[in-house]
């Protein structure tokens, strides 16, 4: 009983302690929750005070901002009216229309800049209203009833202050919205004008570059050229004057000087370790810095983008690259023709006048190249063709062709320079990141050249219009933009795969490079994964729904059952081989009569280069049907056995010593495992030895065998060791049947008998003359 009572007392004390602990924890949690709400309420109070100060500052700045916005909008609206009026005197030339498009884009940017401060105010006021709405939602929708009274008590003060602040926010926001509504209306007018001018530009572009302006071989067309030139002389200045007068020359020139000095300083800093290069290339680098400064200033100063600044920047950059290229007479003539085309574009010559002038320019360039003994130059024939095309009214097309060829020369030069520079950075190392950057540099330069040709020929308006054209083929939507993205992603993917394969060479495991076969397998797996993602990207790019692929899958299943089973078999076999590790790239295998090195392994087939440099393409399915001898499965080392037979009576120790020394002195014979000489048997011809050596590569097998055999023969001769050989009796067997052989023997006998009888007759005649000499003749009378 005493023990039970003691247990009950202990249990009660423990329960009491637990209850006190739980109550204290709940009280602490409640206290912590109360403190958290109070801190939030204090933070809201401080935030409301800050927003009140910010709102007071907005109220103070708002009149000045509205006045400035109204002035800027009035200025932009006036400029828009001027541009609309300039359409009548701009002329039907692509560059005049592009100038109007550039000016409209500058107007749109000016409106955005003018309303940026008010847009910031609008965003701030919208966030304040959103915070007030959130506070009201929290007070109205309490998820827990026990916290409802606490929330109402703590948030009551901030709620009242926020409500008072919200009325002031609404008042200011209404004024800001009204001011920005005027900016939005003007932006809509500018956008409508830009759309109309884009359509006009496309029409003018097609008429200029896809139609003939009239053959100059006809007198009526020549008179029309004179009329076009007279009309251009009257209307041209009325278009150039307002465009040039509206430009902010002071800001443009000042910022150009500053940016050019900065760019020149950066170039000088990059070439501080090569003073001789700086002195040799200083004129070209100065022009390059000036072009970079003008480009930066043109995109920073409002109303500075037009045909004059654009063509001036292109001319400066082209001259800089021309001075850096040292391309010779051919490039100099092309550059002169390029500048002539730039001048024609800048002054907005009509197409007929361009054709007439370009005949003279192209003919002069061709004559200059011919005088310089460059009759075989491609540029000479290009300029001749351009002059002939201009005679038939295709002058603008000839101008663009010559300019594109000139810029292609510059792009090729820049590409070669960049590649040489990256090669110098690599320092002759086979594995270098500079080598990996070379394909990227070439790809980027090619893309920049194509982009320059598109923009220079068509401009932003035409490029956007052409790239936005969409053609529906079934459920797919094909556009030039989608095709361009597909091509760009394709080349980037190929570049990424090449980089990944090269980077695997830098991977080390415990100080050892990755095995070549494993690197090839990992690279192949990465290629298949990326190609799969590329296919999905292409489907997404052309808006092809994945549900449409069910029909393709059904067709493939039928095709696999009938005619594609071999392809699928090879594909699955290739995956098994690649990831199974039985055959890897670089292995020496023997499959049937084919013995050689695996140079490539894909999911379709395996390419083997035999020892006589013959390429054998083996389907992967054949590897799983038969046995394969992999001579380098564990490693590439292999043992060679060279049989050697010496004459009976030769000293065995001497032969072993000589063979051991020959094997050890050969550079391709491994030291470990060491060479061995074994006496195989006492044969019929003599003592038969086996020289067993190890080499590190199977491809050296025949070379090492030949060199060891040659050395063994020379060494045995020097040491007077005889090598026995078994004699072979050769028996001649006539050709043909038995009758033919009999007839041949008879014919040979007849020829021999005739020869013998001829000799006998000759001997008889000689013997007869010597025995009975001829009678002497005296005085012509026989005695």
Identify whether the C-beta of residue 458 lies closer than 8 Å to the C-beta of residue 198.
Answer: no
pLDDT greater than 80 at residue 641:
yes
- In this prediction, residue 565 carries a pLDDT of 59
Per mean pLDDT, which of 423-437, 468-482, 626-640, 684-698 is the most reliable?
Answer: 684-698
Confidence of residue 262 (pLDDT cuts 50, 70, 90): very high
Identify whether the C-beta of residue 504 lies closer than 8 Å to the C-beta of residue 522.
Answer: yes
pLDDT greater than 50 at residue 782:
no
- How far apart are the C-alpha atoms of 334 and 386, rounded to whole Å? 12
| Residue 682 β-bridge partners | 687
pLDDT greater than 70 at residue 481:
yes
- How far apart are the C-alpha atoms of 604 and 616, rounded to whole Å? 14
What the block records as the tokens of 533 is: 């993602």
List domains and CATH numbers for the chain: 32-207 (no CATH), 211-248+302-468 (no CATH), 557-634 (2.30.30.60), 638-718 (3.30.70.100)
Identify whether the C-beta of residue 400 lies closer than 8 Å to the C-beta of residue 394.
Answer: no
Q: Which long-range contacts (CB under 8 A, 24 or more apart) does 63-70 make?
A: 65/117, 65/118, 65/121, 65/179, 66/118, 66/175, 66/179, 68/114, 69/114, 69/115, 69/118, 69/179, 69/182, 69/183, 70/179, 70/182
Q: State CA 503 to chain mean position distance.
A: 16
Report, as an integer, the average pLDDT of 426-439.
60
Q: When comparing pLDDT for 81 and 757, which is higher?
A: 81
pLDDT tens-digit series, residues 590-604: 777 777 777 777 766
pLDDT tens-digit series, residues 161-205: 556 667 777 787 888 888 888 888 988 998 898 888 888 888 888
Identify whether the C-beta of residue 121 lies closer than 8 Å to the C-beta of residue 183.
Answer: no
pLDDT greater than 60 at residue 425:
yes
The structure's pTM equals 0.61
pLDDT greater than 60 at residue 40:
no
Percent of the chain with pLDDT strictly greater than 70: 69
- How far apart are the C-alpha atoms of 722 and 672, rounded to whole Å? 31
- In this prediction, residue 581 carries a pLDDT of 62
- How far apart are the C-alpha atoms of 162 and 140, rounded to whole Å? 15
Kindly report the average pLDDT of the chain as a whole number: 75
Question: Beta strands 508-509 and 588-591: pairing type?
Answer: unpaired
pLDDT tens-digit series, residues 659-715: 888 888 888 888 888 888 888 888 777 888 888 888 887 778 888 888 888 888 888
pLDDT tens-digit series, residues 738-756: 777 777 778 888 887 777 7
**H or E stretch covering 93:** none
pLDDT greater than 70 at residue 151:
no
The residues, any chain, with a CB within 8 Å of residue 735's CB and separated by 6 or more, are none
- In this prediction, residue 537 carries a pLDDT of 83
Identify whether the C-beta of residue 162 lies closer than 8 Å to the C-beta of residue 51.
Answer: no
- In this prediction, residue 258 carries a pLDDT of 92
CA-based nearest residue to 296, from 270, 247, 263, 264: 263
Q: When comparing pLDDT for 145 and 536, which is higher?
A: 536
pLDDT tens-digit series, residues 279-316: 777 888 888 899 889 988 888 888 888 878 888 888 88
3-state secondary structure of 377: coil
Residue 35: CB atoms within 10 A of its CB come to: 10
Confidence of residue 47 (pLDDT cuts 50, 70, 90): low
């Amino acid at each position: 009983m005493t023990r039970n009572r003691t247990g009950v007392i202990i249990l009660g004390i423990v329960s009491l302690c637990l209850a006190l602990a739980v109550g204290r924890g709940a009280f602490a949690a409640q206290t912590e929750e109360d403190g958290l709400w109070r801190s939030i309420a204090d933070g809201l109070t401080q935030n409301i005070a800050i927003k009140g100060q910010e709102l007071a500052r907005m109220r103070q700045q708002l009149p000045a901002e509205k006045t400035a916005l109204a002035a800027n909008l009035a200025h932009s609206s006036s400029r828009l009216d001027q541009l609309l009026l300039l359409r009548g005197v701009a002329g039907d030339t692509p560059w005049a229309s592009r100038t109007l498009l550039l000016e409209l884009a500058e107007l749109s940017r000016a409106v955005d800049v003018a309303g940026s401060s008010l847009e910031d105010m609008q965003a701030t006021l919208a966030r304040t209203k959103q915070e007030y709405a959130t506070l009201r939602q929290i007070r109205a929708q309490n998820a827990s009833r026990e916290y409802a009274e606490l929330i109402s008590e703590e948030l009551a003060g901030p709620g009242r202050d926020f409500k008072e602040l919200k009325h002031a926010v609404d008042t200011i926001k209404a004024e800001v919205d009204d001011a920005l509504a005027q900016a939005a209306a003007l932006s809509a007018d500018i956008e409508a004008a830009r759309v109309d001018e884009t359509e006009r530009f496309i029409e003018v572009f097609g008429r200029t570059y896809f139609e003939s302006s009239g053959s100059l071989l006809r007198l009526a067309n020549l008179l029309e050229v004179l009329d076009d030139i007279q009309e251009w002389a009257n209307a041209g200045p009325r278009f150039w004057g307002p465009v040039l007068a509206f430009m902010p020359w002071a800001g443009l020139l000042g910022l150009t000087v500053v940016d050019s000095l900065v760019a020149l300083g950066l170039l000088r800093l990059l070439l501080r370790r090569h003073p001789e290069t700086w002195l040799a290339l200083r004129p070209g680098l100065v022009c390059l810095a000036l072009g970079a400064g003008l480009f930066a200033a043109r995109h920073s100063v409002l109303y500075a983008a037009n045909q004059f600044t654009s063509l001036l920047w292109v001319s400066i950059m082209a001259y800089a690259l021309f001075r850096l290229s040292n391309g010779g007479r051919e490039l100099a003539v092309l550059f002169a023709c390029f500048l002539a085309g730039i001048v024609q574009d800048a002054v907005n010559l009509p197409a007929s006048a361009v054709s007439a002038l370009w005949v003279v320019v192209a003919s002069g360039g061709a004559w200059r190249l011919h005088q310089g003994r460059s009759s075989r130059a491609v540029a000479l024939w290009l300029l001749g063709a351009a002059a002939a095309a201009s005679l038939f009214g295709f002058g603008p097309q000839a101008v663009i062709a010559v300019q594109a060829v000139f810029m292609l020369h510059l792009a090729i030069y820049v590409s070669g320079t960049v590649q040489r520079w990256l090669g110098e950075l690599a320092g002759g190392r086979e594995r270098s990141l500079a080598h990996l950057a070379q394909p990227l540099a070439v790809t980027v330069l090619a893309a920049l050249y194509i982009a320059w040709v598109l923009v220079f020929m068509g401009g932003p308006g035409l490029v956007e219009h052409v790239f936005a054209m969409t053609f529906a083929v079934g459920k797919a939507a094909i556009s030039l933009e989608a095709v361009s993205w597909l091509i760009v992603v394709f080349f980037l993917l190929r570049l990424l795969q090449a980089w990944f394969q090269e980077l695997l060479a830098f991977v080390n495991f415990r100080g050892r490079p990755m095995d070549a076969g494993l690197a090839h397998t990992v690279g192949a797996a990465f290629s298949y994964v990326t190609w799969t993602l590329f296919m999905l990207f292409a489907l997404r790019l052309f808006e092809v729904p994945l549900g449409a692929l069910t029909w393709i899958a059904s067709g493939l299943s039928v095709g696999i059952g009938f005619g594609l089973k071999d392809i699928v078999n090879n594909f699955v076999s290739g995956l098994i081989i690649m990831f199974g590790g039985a055959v890897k790239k670089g292995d020496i295998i023997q499959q049937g009569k084919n013995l050689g090195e695996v140079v490539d392994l894909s999911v379709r087939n395996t390419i083997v280069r035999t020892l006589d440099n013959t390429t054998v393409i083996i389907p992967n399915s054949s590897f799983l049907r038969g046995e394969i001898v992999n001579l380098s499965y564990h490693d590439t080392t292999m043992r060679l056995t060279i049989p050697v037979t010496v004459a009976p009576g030769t000293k065995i120790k001497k032969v072993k010593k000589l063979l051991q020394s020959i094997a050890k002195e050969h550079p391709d014979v491994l030291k470990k495992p060491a060479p061995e000489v074994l006496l195989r048997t006492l044969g019929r011809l003599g003592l038969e030895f086996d020289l067993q050596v190890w080499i590190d590569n199977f491809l050296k097998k025949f070379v090492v065998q030949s060199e060891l055999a040659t050395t063994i023969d020379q060494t045995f001769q020097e040491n007077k060791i005889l090598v026995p050989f078994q004699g072979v009796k050769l028996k001649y067997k006539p050709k043909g049947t038995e009758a033919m052989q009999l007839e041949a023997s008879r014919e040979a006998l007849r020829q021999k008998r005739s020869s013998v009888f001829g000799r006998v007759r000759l001997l008889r005649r000689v013997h007869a003359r010597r025995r009975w000499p001829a009678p002497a003749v005296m005085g012509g009378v026989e005695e």
